[in-house]
Structures are given as C-alpha cells and as structure tokens.
Amino acid sequence: MTTDHTPATAPIMVGIIMGSDSDLPVMQAAADVLDELGIGYEMTIVSAHRTPKRLYDYADSAVSRGLRAIIAGAGGAAHLPGMAAAITPLPVIGVPVKTSSLSGQDSLLSIVQMPAGVPVATVAINGARNAGLLAAQIIGSADPAVLARISAFKQALEEQVMHKVERMAA
C-alpha cells in the first residue's frame, strides 16, 4: 500500500508511515486532516522489524524527497517512530496504535520513552488526527498560508463549542 496525495498546488511534505496495514484504520485520520488543510502527503507501510532496510532507506531519503515531517504509527513493540527519528533530522510524530492485548499501553511506552537527543513527538493512543494537525503546524510555522488555514480550523473548533454553549443555555 502506497498512496500519494498531491493536490494541484500542494507538494508532498508529510510522510505517513505505519508498521502494518492493520494500522491503517487508525492512521487514516492523519491523512484526513492533512486533506482538510490542503497539505500534500504520502502514506505507506514501513515495518521496523519486518522491513528494516526499507525503514532505513525511507527515513534516510526523506529530506532529499522534500518531506518536512514524518508521522509514524505502530502498535505493540512500536519501534518504527523511534528508529525513523534516529535516522532522519526531520521531526517525527509518533502515533501509538491501540493493541488487543495491552490496549496500546505497550505502544505508548515503546514510543514515548525515547533517550535524550532523539525526540519523538508522541500523541495519544490512536491520536492520529492530532498527529496530522501537529505536522500541519510544523509546516505552518514557516508557511503563512498553511498557518492561516490552521487558524481558521481553530476558529471553527471554537465556534462549534460556542454553538453548543448557546444551545444548552436556550
């Protein structure tokens, strides 16, 4: 599974990788929010354990291929985000995928507990939507057009809540 999403004016800036196609139902949320914000991304399977050479090549070539951030999701012994962060100088956002045996606590602890010098920005268990937003904000910090779309997104969030406040008070 490899998916490229390049809206006419949006170069691919975010790489979304996951350890298995079984992670896709969770990781799709990162892609969805990048679509909403008009940010180009690619999405594919890269397994730290089953395809280690592919992981090295993917992370090692990420900068030269124009990526600005990597979102990596994995479950269980979730070494994909940390290993990607060890290889690339780009920011890596880790998504702990919920597991059936330990409810994703295993994934979370595998991803979040990185050694000093090799950070992974870890979101909540199954928090792929926030991972997509964080990648957009990283890109937006150097791209005023993207930043404006994120501001509009946050404004819409506030309006949704205020609408509920007004309905509850009525």
Residues that bind ligand RP5 (CB under 6 A): 18-20, 22-23, 47, 74-76, 97
CB of 121 to ligand RP5, least distance (A): 18
Q: Which two tokens stand for residue 157?
A: 């969030």
Q: Which two tokens stand for residue 166?
A: 């007004």
Cβ nearer to ligand RP5, comparing 13 with 74:
74
CB of 63 to ligand RP5, least distance (A): 24
- DSSP letter at 122 equals E
User: Does 20 carry a binding-site annotation?
Assistant: yes
Cβ nearer to ligand RP5, comparing 16 with 136:
16
Cβ nearer to ligand RP5, comparing 23 with 42:
23
User: Does 149 carry a binding-site annotation?
Assistant: no
CA–CA gap between residue 100 and residue 55 (Å, rounded): 25
CA–CA gap between residue 162 and residue 170 (Å, rounded): 12
First-to-last CA distance in the chain? 49
CB contact at 8 A, 76 and 100 = no
Q: Which two tokens stand for residue 36?
A: 């909403």
What residue number has its CB nearest to ligand RP5? 19
Amino acid found at 72? A
CB of 169 to ligand RP5, least distance (A): 44
CB of 77 to ligand RP5, least distance (A): 7
User: Does 50 carry a binding-site annotation?
Assistant: yes
Binding positions: 20, 23, 50
